[in-house]
Amino acid sequence: MDLNKYEGEQKILVSVDCIILGFDGEQLKALLVRRGFDPEKSGWSVMGGFIRSEESADEAANRVLHQLTGMRNVYLEQLYTFSDLNRDSGARVISITYFALIHITNYSEQLQEEHETKWFSLDNLPSLIFDHKEMVLKAHARLRERAATHALGFELLPQKFTLSQLKCLYEAIYGTPLDRRNFTKKMRSLGILKKLNEKETASSRKGAFYYVFNKSRNGNFQAGRFKT
Amino acid sequence: MDLNKYEGEQKILVSVDCIILGFDGEQLKALLVRRGFDPEKSGWSVMGGFIRSEESADEAANRVLHQLTGMRNVYLEQLYTFSDLNRDSGARVISITYFALIHITNYSEQLQEEHETKWFSLDNLPSLIFDHKEMVLKAHARLRERAATHALGFELLPQKFTLSQLKCLYEAIYGTPLDRRNFTKKMRSLGILKKLNEKETASSRKGAFYYVFNKSRNGNFQAGRFKT
DNA sequence: CCAAAAGTGTTCATGCTACACCCATGA
DNA sequence: TCATGGGTGTAGCATGAACACTTTTGG
């Protein structure tokens, strides 16, 4: 118990929930987990846990993320705090949500089975418990916002990637097709890509050059929107 | 006590803090209050209160706002949740912050004295308790973001206003001077202003037409940034 | 008649959009 | 040799930036 100078005030259960997003090369996906306890046992939910008295919400989010994915140093950003009285049918719980972007390939099938988790396309989500669907939708919306001003997309792609893959990613984020020529032109003009001498040959006869993200030049990234 | 299916989990004190912003025709200001209790008694702080067990954070924020300003139906948006362990020296408190935009003229001097509150320019804030300065800065940053995509500015101006006043407001929001001609051209092109037949004559010989905000045409507001 | 703010228009540069042609290669 | 995805360039258009002149009227 901490020294409490605010006696008489009511305490509340506070959880963190992490909406974990990944990209499989074609679609944006969210990593959902089958809930292991009541209420709503075995319903699909995002990953969460209660905040402990010795940790901040950021720390709790990182802990939850690490427990289920084994990952650290992941892109993690606070999203929104949900506090409706009856949002959780088990008790009054306030949930601070975070969204995380991970390299989908780093999350093995083995881990999926261990934790009863599964990737779902954002276009085809299952029924989710409580207000978790709203959380996922808000995460997608935030990703769309961020993509215009931060080079976030790179958190979702493997270290080296082709311009086609990058284009697919932005199409998935915005939900709209982009013009290949205009897209690559703009991307190259931003000066945040470094072309490698290596080609990806699996998906085309000619082969497409790999690129890596040039972090040093990321200071003034301003992509605006990508249209057409 | 609610029925708690999550026994053994720790509860935490949760407060809401409202960063109230206004515009006096020249500067953006924040309404701060002298704290009336320990710890940090009589330090400047934003307006806050603990969340009660029968209200959501949104409801709590509206309650706090109403208590101190008497206003309802104010623009109020959730901002960020602060949760560092030692952010409040009295106890471990998680704070869900909101920012509010009000018409500064609606807040009388009488109310200021009653509640020991005062308007401070965002450029000249006093020393604030805990992490409240960070809250105010985050509110200003959010206002800057929103001003580009929502017609928020109108929440801060009186019902009828001149283009000069509107320009001043945007200059205060962005902290940069704007070109009068380009600004008015763009504003008029957005189709969200309605010109009145009435002039404001106090601040110029010629007199400037009043405008009102045309709410019906606010569907697809996209101001982008205002530069130069 | 002059100072001070208001109202309006033109030019130039930049960036976005739309669109077409050639390249490399495995089958 | 041909189908498939990869790479690049150009012309037109829209938007933003820079900038100057006229109008009104109280003093």
Q: Which domain holds residue B167?
A: 159-224
Interface subset of B 41-70, CB within 8 angstroms of A: 50-58
Could you tell me if A206 lies within 8 Å of chain B, comparing CB atoms? no
**Is residue A152 a part of any domain in this protein?**
no
- Furthest-apart CA atoms within chain A: distance in Å: 72
Per-residue pLDDT, averaged over A30-53, amounts to: 96
A77 and A22 in one domain? yes
Could you tell me if B38 lies within 8 Å of chain A, comparing CB atoms? yes
* Residue that is last in its domain, among A114, A147, A180: A147
How confident is the model over B185-199, as pLDDT tens digits?
Answer: 999 998 899 999 999
**Is residue A44 a part of any domain in this protein?**
yes
Distance CA B213, CA A143 (A): 31
Residue A76, pLDDT score: 97
Could you tell me if A7 lies within 8 Å of chain B, comparing CB atoms? no
| Among the partner residues A2, A90, A96, nearest to B92 by beta-carbon distance | A2
**Is residue A207 a part of any domain in this protein?**
yes
A179 and A120 in one domain? no
Residue B1, pLDDT score: 46
| Helix and strand totals (H; E) in chain A | 6, 9
Distance CA B38, CA B43 (A): 10
Per-residue DSSP letters for B4-27?
A: -SSTTPPEEEEEEEEEEEEE-SS-
Distance CA A76, CA A80 (A): 13
A25 and A71 in one domain? yes
Nucleotides on chain D that have an atom closer than 7 A to a protein CB are 3-10, 15-20, 23-26
A28 and A115 in one domain? yes
**Is residue B172 a part of any domain in this protein?**
yes
Distance CA B142, CA B145 (A): 5
Q: Token digits for A174?
A: 């915005």
How confident is the model over A54-63, as pLDDT tens digits?
Answer: 999 999 999 9
CATH of residue B169's domain is 1.10.10.10
Mutate to test the interface with A, among B1, B3, B10 (most CBs of A within 10 A): B10
* Residue that is last in its domain, among A93, A113, A147: A147
A171 and A74 in one domain? no
B196 and B117 in one domain? no
pLDDT band (50, 70, 90) for residue A114: confident
A199 and A135 in one domain? no
Residue matched to tokens 């934003």: B46
A143 and A43 in one domain? yes
Q: Of residues B50 and A148, which shows the higher confidence score?
A: B50
Q: Of residues B223 and B21, which shows the higher confidence score?
A: B21
Measured CA angle at B23 (ends B18, B24), to 5 deg: 130
The chain-wide mean pLDDT, for chain B, equals: 91
pLDDT band (50, 70, 90) for residue A107: confident
| CB contacts, 8 Å: B58 with chain A | 83
How confident is the model over B131-190, as pLDDT tens digits?
Answer: 999 999 999 999 999 988 888 888 999 999 999 999 999 999 999 999 999 999 999 998
**Is residue B24 a part of any domain in this protein?**
yes
A116 and A19 in one domain? yes
A219 and A135 in one domain? no
Q: Are A18 and A98 a contacting pair, CB within 8 Å?
A: yes
Residue matched to tokens 């790179």: A154
For residue A117, what is the enclosing H or E element?
A: strand A117-121
Q: Considering its fold, how many domains does chain B have in total?
A: 2
Could you tell me if A108 lies within 8 Å of chain B, comparing CB atoms? no
* Residue that is last in its domain, among B115, B147, B179: B147
CATH of residue A115's domain is 3.90.79.10
B164 and B143 in one domain? no
pLDDT band (50, 70, 90) for residue B205: very high
**Is residue B152 a part of any domain in this protein?**
no
Residue B114, pLDDT score: 87
Q: Token digits for A152?
A: 């976030």
Residue matched to tokens 């991970």: A102
Q: In chain A, which ranges are continuous DSSP H helix?
A: 57-69, 109-115, 132-149, 153-156, 163-174, 180-189
**Is residue B1 a part of any domain in this protein?**
no
Q: pLDDT at residue A2 above 60?
A: no
| Among the partner residues A3, A10, A90, nearest to B52 by beta-carbon distance | A10
B72 and B136 in one domain? yes
**Is residue B2 a part of any domain in this protein?**
no
Phi and psi at residue A21, in whole multiples of 5°? -110, 145
Residue B214, pLDDT score: 81
Per-residue pLDDT, averaged over B191-219, amounts to: 87
| Among the partner residues A56, A57, A90, nearest to B6 by beta-carbon distance | A90
Q: pLDDT at residue A1 above 50?
A: no
| Percentage above 90 pLDDT, chain A | 74
